[in-house]
Chains A and B, each alone.
Chain A
């Protein structure tokens, strides 16, 4: 497997549907692909102790996080026969209903992309040092924790 350079996974603010659409369109030239699978993480309006979340403000230990994303990418390519994989994660404020994580895997055949996508998303949730401040309507906040 070819060693790939560590990429910057982070984008400032929400990930737009236009960006996601363009990412899909860019793959039309890769005609060995027969199956894409996409995960979109969306900020949920959780109600906690009677207060509603209106946004999450994301921060990260960026150098370590990008290294972890790189390790996840390498491990996924080693485990599954993927043609390509793209990961984007938001930093800064993302409002409820907006997209904060976009994972895109592609392969010649469908069965692999279902397994690979779950593997990538679960690894991101568990291993990448990203932190989320859940902001409520009254501007108070609490810190999100993945479960």
Chain B
């Protein structure tokens, strides 16, 4: 399946991209995060939350469909 991965704030800085499409098998969020951290070692230095289709999810969430995944650094609104 194809996933769209979005990076924001300091995470876009760490990966040097804002968005990418990746091909992956269905997987847990934790597995996806590991894969992305292997690809972008600088992500290890950052604290972030994960949103799947614009809903925050925990690392046990299972991704099994074409989906938008966003990596969200700490919020700073206001």
Contacts and interface: CB of A to CB of B under 8 A. Distances in A.
Interface of A: 41, 56, 58-61, 63-65, 67, 89, 100-101, 121, 124-133, 143-146
A104 to B, nearest CB: 14
B78 to A, nearest CB: 4
B22 interface: no
Instruction: With a 10 A CB-CB cut-off, give which of B51, B72, B74 has the most chain A CB atoms.
Output: B74
Nearest to B6: A61
A102 to B, nearest CB: 10
Nearest to B9: A131
Contacts of B76: 56, 58, 130-132, 143-146
Nearest to A39: B78
Instruction: With a 10 A CB-CB cut-off, give which of B8, B10, B51, B77 has the most chain A CB atoms.
Output: B77
Given A61-B54, A125-B78, 5 more contacts: A58-B77, A59-B9, A64-B54, A124-B77, A146-B77
Interface string B62-78: 00000000101111111
A61 B70 contact: yes
Contacts of A130: 75-78
B75 A146 contact: yes
Interface footprint category on B: 10 to 19
B61 to A, nearest CB: 16
B72 to A, nearest CB: 5
Contacts of A89: 77-78
Contact of B78 (A65, A101, A143): A101
Interface of B: 6, 8-10, 51, 54, 70, 72-78
Nearest to B49: A129
Contacts of B54: 61, 63-64, 67
Nearest to A142: B10
Contact of B75 (A41, A56, A125): A125
Given A143-B9, A143-B10, A61 B72 contact: yes
Contacts of A63: 54
B77 A101 contact: yes
A101 B76 CA distance: 11
